């Protein structure tokens, strides 16, 4: 039994994202003035084998200790069981 895990890491709301702003400005050049805000983040696809350790704890630990820098970033994830 395996888990397919998707992790999304983005800057916290309080952190400015100059890359996102640069992309938003480029979008405005495409005449999509209705686009008001762009935030750029990272996306991970991770396959994890089922063990006795609860999967949420495994993913939390990965996020906190490596995938995100908690000083700047926040994360969320989706966990799906696969065969």
Q: Which of 19, 25, 61, 78 binds other proteins (CB under 8 A)?
A: 19
27: Cα separation from own chain's centroid: 22
Residue 9 pairs in a beta bridge with 42, 75
Q: Give yes or no for residue 69 binding other proteins (CB under 8 A).
A: yes
**Tokens matching residue 55:** 């999967």
Residues in contact with other proteins, counted by CB under 8 A, come to a total of 11
- Coil vs helix vs strand at 69: coil
- Among the candidate windows 27-35, 50-58, 69-77, which touches other proteins by CB under 8 A? 69-77
At residue 59, the 3 state secondary structure works out as helix
- The binding site for other proteins (CB under 8 A) comprises 15-16, 18-19, 22, 42, 66-67, 69, 71-72
């Amino acid at each position: 039994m395996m888990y397919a895990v998707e992790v999304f890491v983005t800057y916290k709301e309080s952190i400015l994202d100059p890359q996102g702003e640069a992309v938003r400005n480029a979008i405005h050049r495409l005449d999509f003035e209705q686009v008001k805000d762009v935030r750029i983040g990272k996306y991970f696809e991770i396959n994890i084998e089922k063990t006795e350790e609860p999967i949420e704890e495994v993913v939390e630990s990965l996020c906190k200790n490596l995938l995100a820098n908690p000083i700047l970033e926040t994360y969320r994830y989706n966990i799906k069981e696969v065969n």
